[in-house]
Chains A and B, each alone.
Chain A
Amino acid sequence: MSVLIYTDSSNGALTKNAFEAANYGGQLAKAAGTDAIAIVAGSASGLEELGNYGISKVLHVADTELDNFDPQKIAHVVAAAVTETGADTIVFTHDYSGKSVAPRLSAKLDAGLVTGAIALPNGNVVKKAVFSGKAFAEIEITTATKIISVLPNSLDKVETGGSAEVVAFSTEIPSTGITVKEIKKESTELSLTEADIVVSAGRGLKGPENWGIVEDLAKELGAATACSRPVSDIGWRPHHEHVGQTGIAIRPNLYIAAGISGAIQHLAGVNGSKVIVVINTDSEAPFFKAADYGIVGDAFEVLPKMLEAIKQLKA
C-alpha cells in the first residue's frame, strides 16, 4: 500500500504542475501513514527535488521513446509502476497530461477515477467542482484501487524538505501507431492553468490592437493573459485564451477582468479564483457581484495606471 504519483516532465525537466501532483500525493501519503512514490517517464533531471514535497522515491523510466507525450505509452508505464509498488492510490494533476492518461489508466485497472479534486480525500470520498464551478460534488471511489487528479492551485503547498531517492525503472513500452510530427511550444508564454495571476479582457477592449495594455500589465505581474469567448470567436485573441464554461476553467490566486460583462458562462470558468478584480465602465455589470474588488471605470485608463502603480510598488 502506497501512493503513486505521476509527475509530468517536458523538455527534460519536471513541469510546474508535476509539483501539484507531488504536493497532493505527499500530503495524502503522510495522512495515510504510507510512502509517496513518484513515476517519471522520459528524459528528465532534477527529480530529487520532489523530496521537498514528501516524495521518498522516484521511479524513472529514462527511455527517450517517452519524450514525446503519448497517453497510451504513459498509461502503460504507470500501470507497470502500480504493479511494482503495489500502490492503491494513483495521483495525477488535472492538466493536459493528466486528462489524457488518467482515464486510460482507470479503464486499464478498472479503478475508480475522480478528476479535478480540490481537496485531500476524506476516506474514499473526493471533492471536486462540478457544473463548471457552479457547485461541488463529493464523490466516493468504490474500487480498491483509486485514481485522483488534482486541480492546479487547489491545495496549499507543504514543503517537507529532503531529497528523493531516484531509482531507474524499466518496462516494455508498447508501440502505439501515433507519430509525432512537430511540437510547437509557446515557451515564452505562461500556461494559463499554471499561472498564479491572470489578466483577462473582453469585448470592452474594442479591438485586438488594444491588447497592449493587457499584455503589459500581465508581463509586469508575471501573469498569463486570458479573454472572454466572443473575443476568441472573432479572432482578436487565440482560442487557447478563452476561459469560461466552454473554454478553459482556471482558479488562479488573482483574476483581473477588464471589459468583461461577467455572463454566467464566463463566471463558471473563473469563479474558483481566490481574488477577483473587475474593471468595467458599467456599474451594473453582473461581474461585480462575483468580484472581491471593483473599479467602475474605463479599462483604457485603469490598466495603464495599475501598471504604473505596480512598478512603483516594486521600486
Chain B
Amino acid sequence: MKILVCISKAPDTTAKIAFTDGDTKFDEEGVQFIVNPYDEWYALVRGLELKEANGGSVTVLNVGAADSDPIIRKALAIGADNAVRIDAETTDALYVAKQISNYAKEQGFDIILAGKETIDYNGSQIAGMVSELLDSPYISLASKLDMNGNIATIEREIEGGVEIIEVNTPFVLSAAKGMAEPRIPNMRGIMAARSKPLTVVPSSEATAATSIKGFTLPPEKSGCKYVDTAEELVALLHNEAKAI
C-alpha cells in the first residue's frame, strides 16, 4: 500500500500573530513553526498505522521552500519512510493543489491523506482540489479509516451526523479528530530521520487564483462586565445584550 501524506508548515498555536510590510505579510520573526496539527496528529499517524498493519510505505509531501525542512524531518522522525519537498513559494491553495496533483499523477499512490485544514489560513481546500485534479473520490472530514485489502471503510462527518462509506483505492481523504492519537517521536526515530531520504523536486508550471491583499487584527474587547449573580447575568443578557 503506497500512502502519501501531505503536510503543511504552520505557526505554533501559541505564536504571536503580527504582520509586516504594511500588514500584507505574516511576521515570522521569533515564530516557531510546527507540522500543521491535523496533518501530523491524524493524517500522518493513521497512515503509519495502516502501513504497520498492511505493509507498504508512507511518503510525506510538502510544497514549500527550504525552511520547511525541519518540519519534514519531524514527520520522518514520527515514522514516515521518505519525504518529498516540491520547491516552491506557496502562493495559494489552488497553486499548491496543482503542485501536489502534478507530482502524485506519476506516482500511483493508493491513498492520499491530508489534514482537514491548516491552522493558519483555515482553508479546508487543498485535499478537495487534489481529488478533483486527480479525478479521484474525495472523503472529507473523515474521523475513521479502516482498510481491508483495497477497500476502505470510512466514517466521515456530515451535517448533523456521521456517514459510513466504502470506497476502493485510490482515493483522497482529509482527516479530522478521531482518526488516530498523536505520536511523539522517540530518540531512535529522530536519529533515523536524519538519514531518511528527503528529495527536493522542482515545481511545475501553475498559476494561483487568489492573492492576499492585507491583514487586520480583531478589535480588542471593550472589557468584561463582572456581575455577582446568575439572575443579574440573565437580565443583562436579555435586556442589554439581547442575546436571549
Contact = CB atoms under 8 A, between A and B. Distances in A.
Contacts of A187: 160-161
A133 B19 CA distance: 15
Contact of A140 (B37, B168, B213): B213
B244 interface: yes
B201 interface: no
A15 B168 contact: no
Contacts of B191: none
Contact of A183 (B11, B163, B227, B243): B163
Interface stretch (B44-52, B55-63, B76-84, B215-223): B215-223
Contacts of A10: 158-160
Interface in A154-186: 176-186
Between B116, B143, B165, the greatest number of chain A beta carbons within 10 A of the residue's beta carbon is seen for B165
Interface stretch (B67-75, B104-112, B192-200, B233-241): B233-241
Interface in A120-137: 125, 128-137
A132 B123 CA distance: 10
B167 A177 contact: yes
A10 B163 CA distance: 13
Interface size class of A (residues with CB under 8 A): 35 or more
A134 B209 contact: no
Interface size class of B (residues with CB under 8 A): 35 or more
Contacts of B168: 177
B120 interface: yes
Contacts, number: 270
A142 interface: yes
A177 B37 CA distance: 30
Contact of A275 (B41, B126, B241): B241
B94 A96 contact: no
Given A110-B209, A274-B243, A115 B166 contact: no
Nearest to B231: A309
Contact of A15 (B143, B159, B167, B238): B159
A164 to B, nearest CB: 22
Interface of A: 8, 10, 15, 17, 68-69, 71-72, 75, 94-97, 99-108, 110-116, 125, 128-143, 176-187, 189, 191, 197, 221, 232, 239-240, 242, 245-247, 249, 253-254, 264-265, 268, 271, 274-278, 288-296, 301-303, 305-306, 308-310, 313
26 contacts: A72-B138, A101-B128, A103-B129, A106-B129, A107-B128, A112-B92, A113-B94, A131-B17, A132-B122, A135-B17, A135-B217, A140-B212, A181-B166, A183-B163, A197-B243, A197-B244, A245-B119, A254-B237, A264-B13, A265-B13, A288-B226, A289-B221, A293-B227, A293-B236, A295-B228, A313-B234
Interface of B: 11, 13-14, 17, 19, 37-38, 41, 92-94, 97, 116, 119-133, 137-141, 143, 153, 157-168, 171, 177-178, 208-218, 221, 224-231, 233-238, 241, 243-244
